[in-house]
């Protein structure tokens, strides 16, 4: 398995534009997590899914953020409209049972 795959690796967009980040989790891992990493706040959990169903989205900062998992192989995190303070590295991670979480390489988002 290639591990958790995220795309794009880098995204630069203008304020007000819609941004979509993508994640392909590891096959058979039934939990999927979206984290955001910034210097100031470290790694923050945004939302997580179990068997494609959102379980906890209390970390989503605002209504501008939304996430979907239409099937076991794909998830998206969308920001609309984007703002400069959304600039961060966004990680997707997969987990099964009580095992460790496996992380993707991340998407570095810059909103100018």
To the nearest whole angstrom, how small is the minimum distance from the Cβ of residue 95 to another protein? 7
User: Measured from the CB atom, is 30 or 81 closer to another protein?
Assistant: 30
Which of 69, 86, 88, 95 lies at the binding interface for another protein (CB under 8 A)?
Answer: 95
Say how far apart CA 26 and CA 106 lie, in whole Å.
15
Q: Is 101 in the site for another protein (CB under 8 A)?
A: yes
User: Measured from the CB atom, is 9 or 14 closer to another protein?
Assistant: 9
Is residue 6 within 8 A of residue 67, CB to CB? The reply is no
42-46's contacts with Cβ under 8 Å and 24+ in sequence apart are: 43/91, 46/77, 46/90
Q: Which two tokens stand for residue 59?
A: 């970390």
Interacting positions 8-67 with another protein (CB under 8 A): 30-31, 33, 35, 42-43, 45, 48, 50, 56
Give the torsion through C-alpha atoms of 5, 7, 11, 13, to 10 deg.
-140
# residues contacting another protein (CB under 8 A): 23
Neighbours of 105 (CB within 10 A): 14
Q: Summarize as ranges the residues that interact with another protein (CB under 8 A).
A: 4, 30-31, 33, 35, 42-43, 45, 48, 50, 56, 91, 93, 95, 97-98, 100-106
């Amino acid at each position: 398995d290639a591990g958790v795959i995220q795309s794009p690796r880098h995204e630069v967009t203008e304020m007000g534009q819609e941004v979509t980040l993508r994640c392909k989790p590891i096959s058979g891992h039934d939990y999927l997590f979206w984290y955001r990493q910034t210097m100031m706040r470290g790694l923050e959990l945004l939302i997580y899914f179990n068997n494609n169903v959102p379980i906890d989205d209390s970390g989503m900062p605002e209504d501008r953020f939304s996430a979907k998992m239409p099937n076991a192989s794909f998830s998206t995190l969308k920001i609309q409209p984007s703002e400069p303070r959304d600039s961060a590295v966004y990680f997707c991670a997969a987990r099964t049972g009580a095992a460790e979480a496996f992380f993707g390489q991340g998407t570095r988002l810059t909103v100018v």
